[in-house]
């Protein structure tokens, strides 16, 4: 926790730790199991225990940041990870027309079970997954646009929405973010390669245009030990 052992560094052997702390090897073994459950170390058969490497990204969402990244033609996540000296990646997992979950339908202002366009992505930093994100768009807004196509979008979805020469031509004004912390589902823990005991932060973000019409709902599940969030949002 103090950083005296760097990410990837090997812990002393069980025998050495037992000697250092004047205890028994079974006690040391239980202590390492606790550290593993807390997501601080990983163990490798026949090699020992190592400090778990954890890429960390600080996501700062402000109007100035948003417009600066949009002008550069970069999705905000990618831009901020690069600014922090790390390598980002967004993998497009799926683009489908599906019934809107009830909480998404309420935020998009459509009837429950109404078909919407969903873009599912996996975000990575330095090849390690850090978040899952499902973005929902009203079908009337997204149909016939790149939002509904199963391909990556240069500059991100909001670049398509705001493109003055594009098919949508709507100005993004603000977003509302709702954050909750919980333990991951088994599928989330697998996709994000989470160690036992590591929670996730769910971010439900609704993005509005200048007329207060909802354009997108992002439902993200982020590894809690790999993120720091700060929101100060006026995107006009």
Q: State residue 236's pLDDT score.
A: 61
Please state, in angstroms and rounded to a whole number, the distance separating the CA atoms of residues 79 and 224: 20
Which among 63, 64, 69 has a CA at the least distance from the CA of 83? Answer: 69
pTM: 0.80
In a domain, 3, yes or no: no
In a domain, 205, yes or no: yes
Instruction: Identify the three-state secondary structure at position 165.
Output: coil
pLDDT tens-digit readout, 185-233: 999 999 998 877 789 999 999 999 999 999 999 999 999 988 888 877 5
For residue 43, the enclosing domain spans 14-51
Q: State residue 105's pLDDT score.
A: 96
CATH number at residue 124: 3.40.1410.10
Beta strands in the chain (DSSP E): 41-44, 48-51, 57-62, 88-99, 115-125, 128-138, 172-182, 200-209, 214-223, 227-232
pLDDT confidence bin for 117, thresholds 50/70/90: very high
User: Do 35 and 101 fall within a single domain?
Assistant: no
Are 41 and 32 in contact, with CB atoms under 8 Å apart?
yes
pLDDT tens-digit readout, 1-42: 788 898 889 999 999 999 999 999 999 999 999 998 877 888
In a domain, 23, yes or no: yes
Number of domains in the chain: 2
In a domain, 1, yes or no: no
The 8-class DSSP code of residue 195 comes to: P
Please state, in angstroms and rounded to a whole number, the distance separating the CA atoms of residues 210 and 235: 9
User: Do 21 and 122 fall within a single domain?
Assistant: no
pLDDT confidence bin for 44, thresholds 50/70/90: confident
Tokens of residue 131, six digits:
């978040």
User: Do 126 and 26 fall within a single domain?
Assistant: no
């Amino acid at each position: 926790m103090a950083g005296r052992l760097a990410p990837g560094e090997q812990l002393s052997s069980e025998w050495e730790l037992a000697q250092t702390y004047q205890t028994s090897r079974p006690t040391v073994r239980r202590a390492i199991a606790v550290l593993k459950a807390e997501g601080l170390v990983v163990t490798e058969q026949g090699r020992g225990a190592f400090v778990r490497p954890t890429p960390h990204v600080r996501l700062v969402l402000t109007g100035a940041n948003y417009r600066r990244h949009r002008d550069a033609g970069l999705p905000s996540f990618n831009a901020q990870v690069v600014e922090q000296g790390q390598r980002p990646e967004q993998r497009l997992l799926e683009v489908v027309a599906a019934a809107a979950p009830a909480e998404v339908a309420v935020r998009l202002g459509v009837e429950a079970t109404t078909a919407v366009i969903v873009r599912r992505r996996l975000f990575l930093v330095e090849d390690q997954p850090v978040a899952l994100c499902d973005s929902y768009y009203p079908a009337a807004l997204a149909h016939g646009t790149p939002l509904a196509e199963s391909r990556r979008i240069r500059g991100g979805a909001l670049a398509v929405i705001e493109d003055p020469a594009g098919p949508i031509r709507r100005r993004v004004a603000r977003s509302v973010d709702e954050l909750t912390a919980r333990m991951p589902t088994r599928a989330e823990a697998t996709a994000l390669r989470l160690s036992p005991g590591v929670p996730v932060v769910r971010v439900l973000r609704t993005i509005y245009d200048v007329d207060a019409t909802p354009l997108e709902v992002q439902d993200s599940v982020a590894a809690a030990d790999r993120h720091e969030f700060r929101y100060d949002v006026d995107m006009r």
